[in-house]
Structure 1
Amino acid sequence: MASIDLDSPTVSAGGNASPQAKQRVADGVAGLKSYGLLYGSSPIMLDLYEQIERVASTDATALIIGESGTGKELIARTIHDQSSRKDAAFVAVNCGAIPDELIEAELFGHEKGSFTGAVQGRVGYFEHANGGTLFLDEITEMAPVRQVKLLRALETGTFYRVGGTDLISGNVRVIAATNRDPAVAVKENGLREDLMYRLAVFPLRAPPLRERDGDRELLAQHFLVQLNQQEGTSKSFSKRSIETLRTWSWPGNVRELKNAVYRAFILAEKTVELPHPHLASRVKKAVTQGDAMSVWIGTPLADAQKQIILGTLKYCGGDKRRAAKALGVSLKTLYNRLSAYGDEGAEEEAEQ
């Protein structure tokens, strides 16, 4: 079975999406409008489309603020595709997934022998994105000491590779994103105040699904139309599913909705059911010490730790920040663990 493409490539050549400059009616679903890579007809989304159109016509840095699953990267890609940089690269970087000691080398590149393991020189993300757009997701997960180097690159348009002496000039538009309140992140030392002001030349808010009046049903129908077209089927939602769409708050936002539709589609013969109680028990329940899982005595410590981490992530509906809080570790530590687990960790995330 073909699947909905939940994740776009990290690096893409510009111009592939070729979105229209104006809002358009989405194919297959009456009443659903789209703009670039975004879908939604609610007033709050129509306002977002207008903001995107305005900032896309400039070269200003932008800061996208929104909960997990609201489509922050899609907003960034749409800005890029509507801008004069659309034919150049769009490079997406998750700052929370890169170890602190490597983030500088990943962003700016490094010279051969600049640190242990640097057996050859490497170009960084800033150079890969030259002429295009660099999207820095989860910017508040970058250590403040590393943020200083980023701020300098933004202000001067120049940088040094790690271990290098040649000053490199770059022509890169930076769009950053966070699921935290920037002002709170500044107070908690998660974001430098000067960097916040430099990034938030044009702040954009990615609205949660619960605030998008009427969009839940339209988006669900859109995802179902996509699946029917891919699989050559004609499945439809039950009346109970429509009620679930209207009454459930969808705390995981569009990502949760898309995954729920896909899961229900796989299970359905003809009528697609979205069981409200299942979603409520899976996502809404708080993690407490009373919630338990079993690990056999004698299980190697590393294996037990892996089971606990993956089990907690699954219990939290794939919400990494919530899982990290429940485990008592930093978000970066959780990302590092999941990366070490490779395909198994990725599969656990993909199920959510």
Structure 2
Amino acid sequence: MSYLLVVEDEAETRQLIAEIAAEEGYDVEQAADVRQTRILIERRRPDVILLDMQLPDGNGMELWLDLQLSDTKVVFITGHSTVDSAIQALRCGAIDYLQKPISLRRLKGVLGELKTLMHADPVAGSEDCFAKIIGQSPAIDLLCAHIEKVAPTQATVLLVGESGTGKELAAEAIHLASSRHAKPFMPVNCGAISPNLIESELFGHEKGSFTGADRQHKGYFERASGGTLFLDEITEMSMELQVRLLRVLETGRFMRVGTHEEIEANVRVVAATNRNPEQAVQDGTLREDLYHRLSVFPLQLPPLRERGDDVILLAQHFLDDLNREGKTAKRFGPEALAAMRGYSWPGNVRELRNFVYRSYILADDLIKGDFNAFDLDEQAPTQGAEILVPVGVPLADANRQLILATLRQCGGVKKLAAETLGISIKTLYNRLEEYGELSETADQ
């Protein structure tokens, strides 16, 4: 039987927690202050501590840090919960936190999760949780460290980062490192679903609840039961739907469209946005109360430009995948590597992946011209030209780079360059004249 210590100065609250914990199968003892807590811990080390942040003779969080009980799970109790205090509690290693007045349903849920966590294989959920996150930069190491801290808790997480930084991968890592790893992970892009359908998609609907509802439909909250629901682009939700989501997060229950019967929402919510959430609150696209409820543990995802040589690790990872699929052995040339390091990648990892894929395809098309961002010789680096055309460059500029680089590669022979490019010699002359690059020297 797991031993649980309740540390709470309010006698009625302490007794209530002790009774509920005993009903849930814990061996329970109680302490009202720091002094009693230290005495009880010296006698017997608890498996779980429910610890009030403010005690008559000290601070609960400082007590916890001083005790250094690495094998004990802690849940903080607070009567003055704020986003900052919740974040601080979780970063101190708390599994969760309870706000006064304590909800009995939430208390039972936390105690149940603790039992599951203590009896679970500690490696099963976290062994490969970071397998899809490629990188060795300090920014990525810090992100993974924070994920490891928050994953075992039931805290809602708000992922904030530019488009293409890998918010869904981070959400999946949180899921895989949690006690919910064996249950579904369901990503939902709130901006990709019609505003008329998103309520039904999230919460489900009953047959006949609206025109076209010819059968009962289970929404994401129901289908993700026991697992994790990832709500991407949360600021794209209507304000009315944000109210409903807030109610689900606070009560742990929801209703399908067309019924008044409540269903328990046994899911962990991870949300994400590519906007500044505080600015979204000011702009009126995100409710302030929902923002605070979602950002119990906010995580900032670093843009690729702040990840140093991770850009090369990622590019090589994408190229390795393409080489395996295509049974090829293409490699990056030194100029391409330097160009990738020097580019800011405003589209982040998504832009890099698309660039590698596009360049890989072009390599097959332009083998005769020996021209692309990779070493085309599969055995040794090519001596041919290399270019890097980032996403966002105007098409006319990209065409100019392509034409001039091909002409150089063909030794200035315009006929060969035109054939390589797949255009007529007349079109090539017109383009060169437009660029001010038309030489009077005859082709050899």
Same fold (TM over 0.5): yes
For 1:105 and 1:165, locate their aligned partners in 2 and report how far apart those are by CA, in whole Å: 14
Q: Residue 196 of structure 1 aligns with which residue?
A: 291
Secondary structure at the aligned position of 2:196 is classed as helix
SS at match of 1:98: coil
Q: Provide, for residues 217-262 of structure 1, a one-character-per-residue CA deviation record: whole Å limited to 9, x for no partner.
A: 1111121122222222111111221111111111110011011111
Q: How far apart, CA to CA, are the structure 2 residues paired with 1:117 and 1:35? A: 42
Name the CA distance, whole Å, in 1 between partners of 2:238 and 2:181. 30
For 1:43-54, list aligned pairs within 5 A.
43-54=138-149
Structure with higher RCO (Cα < 8 A, 6+ apart): 1
Letter in 1 for 2:201: E
The corresponding residue for 1:234 is 329
Q: C-alpha separation between the residues in 1 aligned to 2:318 and 2:124?
A: 19
- Aligned positions, number: 257
Q: CA–CA distance in 1 between the matches of 2:182 and 2:126?
A: 15
Q: Is the partner of 1:48 in helix, strand or coil?
A: helix
When residues 285 and 65 of structure 1 are mapped into structure 2, their CA distance, relative to the original with a 3 A threshold, is: farther
**Kept in 1: contact 2:159–2:167 (CA 8 A):** yes
Residue 180 of structure 2 aligns with which residue? 85
Q: Percent identity of the aligned residues?
A: 54
Deviation at 1:118, TM superposition (A): 1.0
SS in 1 for 2:269: strand
What is the one-letter code of the residue matched to 1:110? Answer: H
Residues 186 and 123 (structure 1), Cα distance of their counterparts in 2 relative to 1, 3 Å cut: same
Amino acid at match of 1:231: G
Corresponding residue number in structure 2 for 1:167: 262
Code of the residue aligned with 1:263 in structure 2: it is R
Shift in Å at residue 36 of structure 1? 3.2
The code of the aligned residue for 1:105 comes to S
| 2:186–2:220 CA contact under 8 A, matched in 1 | yes
Asked whether the equivalents of residues 339 and 388 of structure 2 are also in contact (C-alpha less than 8 Å), the reply is: no
Unaligned runs of 5+ in 1: 1-17, 24-33, 287-352
Contact 2:126–2:176, Cα closer than 8 Å, also in 1: no
2:384 equivalent to 1:273: no
TM-align CA RMSD: 2.1
Verify the 8 A CA contact 2:125 2:181 in the aligned structure 1: no
Matches within 5 A, 1:127-138: 127-138=222-233
Partners of 1:199 and 1:20 in 2: CA distance: 23
Contact in 2 for aligned 1:19/1:37 (Cα 8 Å): no
Separation in 1, partners of 2:125, 2:331: 29
Q: Which runs of 5+ in 2 are unaligned?
A: 1-122, 375-385, 396-444
Aligned to 1:140: 235
What SS does the aligned partner of 1:278 have?
coil
Report the CA distance between 1:117 and its aligned residue.
Answer: 1.2
* Bigger radius of gyration among the two: 2
8 Å Cα contact 1:70-1:207 kept in structure 2: yes
Q: How does 1:1-352 map to 2 (within 5 A)?
A: 21=126, 35-269=130-364, 273=373, 278-279=389-390, 282-284=391-393
Please tell me whether the aligned partners of residues 156 and 295 of structure 2 are also in contact (alpha carbons under 8 angstroms): yes
Give the letter for the 2:373 counterpart: E
The CA distance in 2 between the partners of 1:161 and 1:71, in whole Å, is: 31
Note the alpha carbon deviations across 1:85-134, whole angstroms, 9 max, x for none.
Answer: 00000111110111222211111111111111111111111000000000
What TM-score, normalized to structure 1? 0.69
- Report runs of 4+ in structure 1 exceeding 3 Å deviation: 18-23, 269-272, 274-277
Q: CA deviation at 1:191?
A: 0.4
What is the DSSP-based 3-state SS (H/G/I as helix, E as strand, rest coil) of the residue aligned with 1:268? helix
Mapped to 2, the partners of 1:53 and 1:151 lie a distance apart of 26
Indicate conservation of the 8 Å contact 1:40/1:215, yes or no.
Answer: yes
SS in 2 for 1:35: coil
Asked if structure 1 preserves the Cα contact closer than 8 Å seen for 2:186 and 2:228, the reply is yes
Work out whether residues 108 and 161 of structure 1, in 8 Å CA contact, stay in contact via their aligned partners in 2.
yes
Tell me, yes or no, if the aligned pair for 1:21 and 1:36 is still in contact at 8 Å. Answer: no
Indicate if the aligned counterparts of 2:126 and 2:178 stay in contact, CA closer than 8 A: no
